A and B are shown apart, each in its own frame.
Chain A
Amino acid sequence: MSERVLVKGNEALAEAAIRAGCRHFFGYPITPQTEVAAYMARKMPKIGGTYLQAESEVAAINMVYGAAAAGVRVMTSSSSPGISLKSEGISYLAGSDLPCLIINVQRGGPGLGGIQPSQADYWQATRAPGHGDLHVLVYAPNNVQEMVNLVFQAYDKAEEYRVPAMILADGLLGQMMEPVSFPEEGEIKQHDKSWAVTGHKNQRKHNIVNSLYLKADELEQTVIERFQRYAKIEAEETMVEEYLMEDAEYAIVAFGATSRIAKAAIQQLREQGLKVGLIRPITLWPFPKQAIIDACDKVKGFLTVEMSMGQMVDDVRLAVNGRKPVEFFGHTGGIVPTPAEIVEAVKEMGGAK
């Protein structure tokens, strides 16, 4: 680890990607993620990398497809409306078993929405980042150092399982500054890339990267095999943080920036004698079901807090499966919940009001 520096979340994502070996960035500017592209534009030419501002998000994601097919570490970043434009390409990447890193620094939606922070792309990221039967790995950091660490993790796991990975951040995390340490270059795990289209030089068979299957049974078999890999990811790659859950009577479930606010609320609640803990999914897909299931035995109820109308709450309810009440509190459209509001919402659940 190198010295401490003070960075914006967006810069941290860009610098971490470079240190993780990414030398190819294709994007299109959009608030509140523009610093990712700006940082790449400044840095990539100095280190022999490629920064390319494409003519659109659709073009950018297809450039990612091309670079990923060649087996190099590649990244694109955008914010909510731009990710919608990229969704066709994400599906093609998933259908072609290509690893890559996609950043979504979420803003308010739907439509053009607004530029303030949001978490309302949870459904999109975890259910349908593109058409067809597919998943992408989704990581949800809650601080700037974790943004750095999860970039390395995302590349590593994307290549291990040959799936696209996404970091689902939000405008607040993208814009805020915190001290971090970047790992040195060279701490990168190497994965087999014998599938990459790098020229056969008459020494091996053609490698073909493709998501089109002419026969239905062939396509079905390919998807079934891919889902076996997804099952392995679900079994082995789930990440979750539990905070003060040992004696908790109520559990708040929150991810990303909202989990920081939830922690501040939990401290206040504990000072008032209410035993409340936090379950923070770090991977959103795979969702940490088991942590929720285990908590069902000890808590009286769950409160999911999100910057949306309630999306992750679906996954919490699926895991709880009716065993305990699951409530939701949130704001949407760019409004950030306050610790005081979360304190009130927990008290209402407990009937302590």
Chain B
Amino acid sequence: MKELENKRVVVLGHYGSGKTNFAVNLALQRRAAGAEVALCDLDIVNPYFRSADFAERMQQEGIEMVSPPFAGSNVDVPALTGRLDALLANPDRQVIVDVGGDDAGAIAVGRYARKLLPQEPTVLYIVSACRPVTDTPQAALEILREIEYASHVKATHIVNCTNLGKETTAQTVRDSLEYIDELCRISGLPLCCHAVRSDLAEQLKDIDRVLPVEIFVKVPWDI
């Protein structure tokens, strides 16, 4: 999955599709492979469960965490930091941008589109077949078009993050394959990977492009 080694990776999608968990995994995997990584939480719409929640872990791993200054605080100020501009001027860093959900969240990327586009970013459209608003490939494509319109960037690859939270089984992923094929066909975009919980990867090894991921986004009673 060479596209994930691109120095510029933008993670877009419907809210709740699994963008943050995927972005955190990608940052850690790229770091483990030796890359100099910055993870940028560009979410200006979602108050909780966001990349910025993992700032401490990211720092421990030597990943630079860039967050809106008020992320996770008690105020609702959708301000961005200047740090991302600096990172986009640095050709050696791998910058992973975790964007807010839907068109409302994707607007924030528009601010950087002019800088990003000449650098030919990998733009991942994260989808889950188990989310009611994207429950058909056509509905998922409609959301993608809204996101592209708002963000001024176009998706380059599809990432299948289909899951049912704790009820996810290998079958959940298998049941989504037809949906993903159809979405790739009608969008004209190639599949980047199926992101699956690592303990399910073995059962799915017959499928091409499976990327094992850990679950980082958790609720307070998960101990």
A residues engaging B (CB < 8 A)?
4-8, 11, 15, 31-32, 34-35, 38-39, 42, 108, 113-117, 171-172, 175-179, 257, 260-261, 263-264, 268, 333-334, 336-339
Contacts and interface: CB of A to CB of B under 8 A. Distances in A.
Contacts of A336: 220
B76 A115 contact: yes
A106 B46 CA distance: 16
A203 B142 CA distance: 48
B74 A334 contact: yes
B118 interface: no
A39 B143 CA distance: 13
Contacts of B219: 172, 176, 260
A263 to B, nearest CB: 7
B48 A264 contact: no
Interface stretch (B108-116, B159-167, B184-192): B159-167
A116 B47 contact: yes
B74 A114 contact: yes
Main secondary structure of the interface of A (DSSP, over half): mixed
Interface residues of B, number: 28
Interface string B56-79: 000000000000000001111000
Given A7-B132, A35-B15, A178-B165, A115 B221 contact: no
B135 interface: yes
B223 interface: yes
B130 A116 contact: no
Which of B15, B104, B219 has the most chain A CB atoms inside 10 A of its CB?
B219
Contact of A116 (B16, B74, B131, B165): B74
A126 B97 CA distance: 44
Interface pairs A-B: 3 shortest CB-CB:
A114-B74, A264-B221, A179-B164
Nearest to B50: A175
Contacts of A5: 130-132, 135, 164
A6 B164 contact: yes
A4 B130 contact: yes
B117 interface: no
12 contacts: A5-B135, A8-B15, A35-B15, A115-B75, A116-B48, A171-B48, A175-B46, A175-B47, A178-B166, A179-B130, A179-B167, A333-B74
B191 to A, nearest CB: 20
Contacts of A178: 165-166
A8 B133 CA distance: 11
Contact of B128 (A6, A108, A172, A339): A6
A261 B47 contact: no
A194 to B, nearest CB: 36
A338 B132 contact: no
Interface string B199-223: 0000000000000000000011101
Contacts of B74: 108, 113-116, 333-334
B179 interface: no
A257 B221 CA distance: 9
A42 B164 CA distance: 23
B16 A6 contact: yes
Contact of A4 (B49, B164, B223): B164
Contacts of A31: 47, 76
B132 to A, nearest CB: 5
Interface in B74-112: 74-76, 102, 104
Contacts of B46: 175
Nearest to B162: A6
Contacts of B76: 31, 115
A339 B164 contact: no
Contacts of B73: 114
Interface string B118-143: 00000000001011110100000000
Contacts of A11: 16, 132-133
Nearest to B218: A176
A171 B74 CA distance: 12
Contacts of B166: 178-179
Given A32-B48, A108-B74, A8 B16 contact: yes
Nearest to A6: B130
Contacts of B130: 4-6, 179
Contacts of B104: 38
Contacts of A32: 47-48
